[in-house]
Amino acid sequence: MQNVPLLINGEFVTSESQQFIDVTNPINNQSIAKAPCATDREINLAVVSAKEAFLTWREVPVSERARVMMRYQQLLKDHHDELATILSGETGKTFADAKGDVWRGIEVVEQAMNVPAMMMGETAENVARGIDTYSYIQPLGVCLGITPFNFPAMIPLWMFPMAIACGNTFILKPSEQDPLTPNRLAELFMEAGAPKGVLSVIHGGKEQVNKLLNDPDIRAVSFVGSVPVGQHVYKTATDNMKRAQCFAGAKNHSVIMPDSNKERVLNNLVGASVGAAGQRCMAISVAVFVGETHHWIDELAELLKDVKPGLWDDESAGYGPLISPQAKAKVLSMIQQGKNEGATCLLDGSDFTLLGYEEGNWVGPTMFSDVTEEMEIYKQEIFGPVLCCVHVDTLEEAIALVNRNPYGNGTSIFTASGAAARKYQHEIEVGQVGINVPIPVPLPFFSFTGWKNSFYGDLHAYGKQAIRFYSETKTITARWVEDDIASGPNMTISLK
């Protein structure tokens, strides 16, 4: 069994720690690796090397930094299936789902290749007589990323390529539950030509996170995870005068209008609710049936009943296991709570097991109807393959329901009416809206824009907002009284 190495100053090193966390395969909970809890000395070395590397990396021309990203995205494409296989082995995701995880990360790296255009400043001539004003976009310094278990390729790739392309250096603290994929991402990044110290990878748990959050040399913190941890990271980072962007919980609603295409809606709800075992912050966990569409609920239950969890390489499997026994126990507890609260359990996946893999973290598709706002299964993020169905009479009631919810990560509406769609997108208090699109995750030339208790911070992930998060603006006001006389002609097209 391998001990997962740390990446410090361009070298993968065996940790000197005596504390390790088991990395298990969720299909049977057998150990496949051990992740170290990095020591204070190792964390200090990572920060120092990142700080030193920043002094030279920031001076590398932005076009050269972009070329590193070009090489990196090609390496990611070349190793796409290998990465997906590693990812499946430590998360239990189906191969198709794992490939999607990797690919969405590659798309962000491709956006990082466009960094020269995104780091252009502004200029105005003659703001006063003979005075010009212009601005430059410059990097911050050492940045930190803390990433969750559910997307061990995509979410690290949300963070470090954009930060490093801006001229920063970066320390990645991935989830201790699936560290093998992030480590392989880091290996390929070094192969792409990243200098020593530009990217570091530190493993561990809460103690290591707190050590990093309190380090005075780290300038900015990016986080994706649960609400309690997100609040802790945001408060600790900002108390230490750092920038922070923290993506937290969600309770995403899909509103189904009577004029929508029933077959398309039901098929979309199946994948959006239980795909990836419901372990997605953008999963649809509440279906809001408007008017007569509540008659579709039984048909939806029949479709969900046909979805079978399975092994990563089983092409017929709808999704894999949950990440851990603790995650399974929480989901089973919430299912029981829903029954106790009086919701109608049309489909119960609590007892599902996979033959030959009975020790795995399996939960079958589960669906409740007659769910109300007062129920815990409505109020809490279950993070499992559980769909809650709510019925309202009008679009106005649906909008009010969604807006009362404390989360604002994503939502969707299914309708054939442009007027209904326009009203919904305008009035809804949610950061990411889909119209006839079940999971409205934006492509990376836009930003991932959760609202309310789904996000703590000001500037969001990837897109233009990421550039602003990972950089500072310097504004210069200049007056030149005399011309700067050139020393001689330049007979080439090269800049000198």
Where in the sequence numbering do the catalytic residues fall?
Answer: 281
C-alpha distances in angstroms, 214 versus 201, 226, 294, 421? 17, 20, 51, 45
Tokens, residue 386: 């559980």
**DSSP reduced 3-state for 434:** strand
Q: What is the DSSP letter of 441?
A: P
Is-contact 409 224, C-beta < 8 A?
Answer: no
Give the position of tokens 């057998």. Answer: 30
CA 59 from chain centre, in angstroms, equals 29
Quick one: CA torsion of 209, 430, 436, 369, rounded to 10 degrees?
90
The angle at the Cα of 242, spanning 239 to 248, to the nearest 5 degrees, equals 80
130: left (phi over 0), alpha (psi -120 to 50) or beta: left
Edge-first strand listing for the sheet containing 2-3: 2-3, 30-36, 20-25
CA distance 382 to 316: 25
